[in-house]
Amino acid sequence: MKLKEAIEILSVNVQEVYNLITKDCSHFLTESKNLPLYKGISVTREFFFKSIIAKNIPTGLQDNKGFVKGFDNAAKYFGFIKMSDSTFCTGSKVTANLHGTIYRIFMIDDFKYLWSRAFSDSLIHYVDYVEKNRDDYDLIHRLPRETYEEELKSGYDFFKDHVNTYSSENLDRAIKSKHEIMITNSSGFYAIKINSALYRNICKKFKKI
């Protein structure tokens, strides 16, 4: 065993972490059928931590606030969760790796989610739409603020059609699809850095479930 791995295991008790996850994340483990859900994290974090989901524009979308607002408005139409209240995750390590260090996450207590049946990254789909409809898009965003919502109806049609490709059911299917998943709750989630000694030992325990 490498010294680094030995230090990890000594600093965090594997059994304690396992007990914590199985107790606090039992709903998530059932819904996900124990399939791994990944998140790319761009800031340096410990190999195991707990995080609360911030209710704001997701990291990476600060320059696309119009996209987030349009999505949220359409999500309200369908009774879905808002993008601005969620964190992004995926069943794909490749996709998670594009956004930072890969962690496996476990949602604590009750949670809600939304996943795309069509897209691995809905922002890319939106950018494609904007490029194909550049004249209309530029016109909408030059209008005075008081007429913005009314004039955005043509854009809203895009979001309504786009959000209609999402589902709030079958988390295990969502993970298997490797498509975009938005997930939210009030209690947050636990995260374990993959390829760490802790992660490998936790995975061994989960295989016994």
CA distance 118 to 40: 21
Rg of the chain over CA atoms, in angstroms? 19
C-alpha separations of 46 from 10, 29, 50, 142, 196 in Å: 14, 22, 10, 44, 11
CA distance 193 to 184: 20
Checking DSSP bridges between strand 166-167 and strand 112-116, what pairing results, if any? antiparallel
The arithmetic mean of pLDDT across residues 191-195, rounded, is 93
Domain ranges of the chain: 3-206
pLDDT at 23: 96
pLDDT at 130: 67
Is residue 6 scored above 50 in pLDDT?
A: no
Q: Residues 19-57: pLDDT tens digits?
A: 999 999 999 999 999 999 999 988 778 889 999 887 666
Q: Is 0.85 topped by the overall pTM? A: no
Q: Residues 78-134: pLDDT tens digits?
A: 899 999 899 999 999 999 998 899 999 999 999 999 999 988 877 777 777 767 766
Is residue 9 scored above 50 in pLDDT?
A: no
CA distance 163 to 122: 9
**Which residue from 20, 45, 43 is spatially nearest to 196, judged by alpha carbons?**
45
Q: Residues 147-192: pLDDT tens digits?
A: 445 555 555 677 788 888 899 999 999 999 999 999 999 899 999 9
